Amino acid sequence: MSRITDAFKEHKAFIPFITCGDPDLETTRRCVLEMVKNGADIIELGIPFSDPTAEGPVIMEADNRALSGGATTDRIFEFTKELRKETEVPFIYMTYANVVFSYGIEKFIKEASDSGVSGIILPDVPYEERGEFEEVCDKYEVEFISMIAPTSQDRIKMIAKDAKGYIYVVSSLGVTGSRSSITTDIGSMVKLVKECTDIPCAVGFGISNADQAEAMAKVSDGAIVGSAIVKIIAEHGKDAPEKVGAFVKELAQAVHEA
Amino acid sequence: MNQSNGRFGVHGGQYIPETLMNAVIELEEAYNKYKDDPEFNRELIELYNEYANRPSRLYYAKRMTEDLGGAKIYLKREDLNHTGAHKINNCLGQALLAKKMGKTRLIAETGAGQHGVATATVAALLDMECVVFMGKEDMERQALNVYKMRLLGSEVVPVTTGTGTLKDAVSQAMREWTSRIEDTHYCLGSVMGPHPFPTIVRDFQAVISREIKEQMLEKEGRLPDVVVACVGGGSNAIGTFYHFIDDKDVKLIGCEAAGRGIDTFETAATINTGRLGIFHGMKSYFCQNEYGQIAPVYSISAGLDYPGIGPEHAYLHDIGRAQYVAITDDEAVEAFEYLSKLEGIIPAIESSHALAYVKKLAPTMSKDQIIVVTVSGRGDKDCAAIARYRGEVISE
């Protein structure tokens, strides 16, 4: 059992996302510790990218703030190593192909592994292109997380049979960010996955409140929330950690009881 | 040149969100079904000839040739196409394909506005809905084209993220496509993005070199020694090169935008200053910093102001088949004025980059040699900006 799958064992998992270095790494550190204290089961740490094509405006702006605040890949590795000493919660890096490729795939994944990171999500690397990344991930025991989307249809089984860690179920069309309602039949997407593997499925994109998180967790194994948290950080900056903690507490509870 | 998975050497591929994967697979299947379909090709050729004014002229630039005193210079007049640039070749092809696929809505990115205008034009003709994404900065630089697109019935959406230029418009069009796929085709404007776009766009633009070859054989009874075109994403260049790739004696030269110079940060010369990366759906060369953050590139030409280059160009560079040179703003503006005065042809500032190189190259060649340079578009859209560049304010 990996650290990631362990996180789904006792109850459904609540997985918050945060952009590293928004507005600075110390705020990120305090937010992460608040999230853990308030029930987060896995943390997705975003490494900012200049042109994040899968993100809506909220996370795009967070990436901009982080980059102009001086967050670089090297600083984020250092930061993760320090943070690793303070919590056992599994970390997943979420970033874009070029951030990893340009650093050197092997060098990047080795650093991630040395920093105590359990998995990586690259939203612009689909099943067909994962080879050169996954190969290195396997070598360093970093799990390459796969995504499925409402448009995946006949691709779901192909993706599921090779998936590792958990499957990131994209709740709806479009980019990240809040939606007033999610109309995709998540249940039947999860069912297709479960027909070929017992890997956990966590739903993300557009979840912004406890009701949505609970509803999504009910039909899957967990809920991922990014933009709604990043919004709090955008609003409160360095004063965000306690507010993020309170928000996470509400959502984590809803997910754990689902 | 193509391998089955859309690779050109190590370049190309499909680096896009899972949400779009079935859309590009469906597009590839449709393209494979129609590309050799006689009915599809009959319709396309009719649109090319009757609507877009093809074949475009291969014009012997006598005064330019005499003035430079070296190789004989021919201009491939893509500026004479309907909508004033080569972009229409691709838009007619893609829109026709989209229509066959049952799509009713086109979305597109645009830099200088030429691809946006061409897409809006074809959408009007084929009765399709159309939304064009354009950087806010570019909307100011190319206000006339914004007006044209709206006149043609399209919506123009300003993109304010990043540098507010072409790369941001591409990102925003991709985001829009992930949110609405069912009825929408992304009419990508250059030989870039995920497979199959670099191949589809190249095939629709390859009409340029097919015609050059025929026209050259008719006029000179032989192939040219050098063909030259400007390169941003690289669609007019690949169109100009394509049917000459196997003719090893024909030199292929792409002209990138050096902006204020390749030793400055204000440049968009990808091959000369970039390195291998993954962005906008493809593996290719990109201007980027040490951490892979995409560089905020610059060129006077909105159409060449892009931090990447199409994967087939990256491959032609790798194998040494094509050569990519960098041309500064100053050189391009001089060539813009030069062709206007000498031949009575006002070229697009993009195409002026290719003409600037020809000005340097022709005198080094002998009089029995031949250069073909593609004038990818006409320069009406650039007059106000070039006047400003020269310190003159004109109002239209």
3-class DSSP string for chain A: CCHHHHCCCCCCEEEEEEECCCCCHHHHHHHHHHHHHCCCCCEEEECCCCCCCCCCHHHHHHHHHHHHCCCCHHHHHHHHHHHHCCCCCCEEEECCHHHHHHHCHHHHHHHHHHCCEEEEECCCCCHHHCHHHHHHHHHCCCEECEEECCCCCCHHHHHHHCCCCCEEEECCCCCCCCCCCCCCCHHHHHHHHHCCCCCCEEEECCCCCHHHHHHHHHCCCEEEECHHHHHHHHHHHHHHHHHHHHHHHHHHHHHHHC
Tell me the whole-structure pTM to 2 decimals.
Answer: 0.96
Q: Which of A19, A77, A128 to mutate to test the interface with B (most CBs of B within 10 A)?
A: A128
Quote the DSSP letter at residue B102: T
Confidence of residue B4 (pLDDT cuts 50, 70, 90): low
Q: CB of A155 within 8 Å of any CB in chain B?
A: yes
pLDDT (0 to 100) of residue A166 = 97
The tens digit of pLDDT for each residue in A187-245 reads 999 999 999 999 999 999 999 999 999 999 999 999 999 999 999 999 999 999 999 99
What pLDDT score does A230 carry? 97
- B169 pLDDT exceeds 90? yes
- Which 3 state secondary structure label does DSSP give B88? helix
- pLDDT of B139-149, one tens digit each? 987 888 999 99
Which residue in B227, B285, B236 sits closest to B12, CA to CA? B285
pLDDT for A43? 98
Q: What is the pLDDT of residue B396?
A: 59
Average pLDDT over residues B388-392: 93
pLDDT at B300: 92
Return residues 35-74 of B near A (CB < 8 Å): none
The total of structural domains in chain A comes to 1
Give B198's pLDDT tier (boundaries 50, 70, 90).
Answer: very high
| pLDDT score of B59 more than 90 | yes
Contact: A175, B175; criterion CB under 8 Å? yes
Per the CB < 8 Å rule, is A124 touching B15? Answer: yes
Q: What is the CATH number of the domain that holds A13?
A: 3.20.20.70
Chain B residues in contact with A128 by the CB 8 A cut-off are: 5, 13-14, 21
Confidence at B93, pLDDT banded by 50, 70, 90: very high
Of A103-107, A178-182, B10-14, B382-386, the poorest mean pLDDT is in: A178-182
**A132 and chain B in contact, CB less than 8 A:** no
Residues of A within 8 A of B7 (CB-CB) are none
Active-site positions of B read 87, 109, 376
**In this predicted complex, what is the ipTM?**
0.96
* Non-local CB neighbours of B243 within 8 Å, separated by 6+ positions: B206, B209, B210, B212, B213
**Tokens 């199959």 identify what position?**
B196
Residue B324 tokens, joined: 């990519």
The region of weakest confidence among A165-174, A178-187, B87-96, B103-112 is A178-187
Say yes or no: B29 contacts chain A, CB-CB below 8 A.
no
* Full domain range(s) for residue A158: 3-257
**A128 in contact with B, Cβ within 8 Å:** yes
pLDDT tens digit sequence for B306-349: 999 999 999 999 999 999 999 999 999 999 999 999 999 999 99
Domains delineated in chain B: 7-48+87-201 (3.40.50.1100), 55-84+206-389 (3.40.50.1100)
d(CA B168, CA B205): 24
Contact B18 A60 (CB under 8 A): no
For residue A95, is pLDDT > 70? yes
A60 touching chain B per CB within 8 A:
yes
Mean pLDDT of the region A62-77: 97
Please state, as a whole number, how many other Cβ atoms lie within 10 Å of the Cβ of residue A209. Answer: 15
Q: pLDDT tens, B10-58?
A: 999 999 999 999 999 999 999 999 999 999 999 999 999 999 999 999 9
Asked if the Cβ–Cβ distance from B293 to A50 is below 8 Å, we say: yes
Closest to B65 in 3D by CA, of B333, B342, B377: B342
Residue type (1 letter), A20: C
Asked if the Cβ–Cβ distance from B181 to A173 is below 8 Å, we say yes
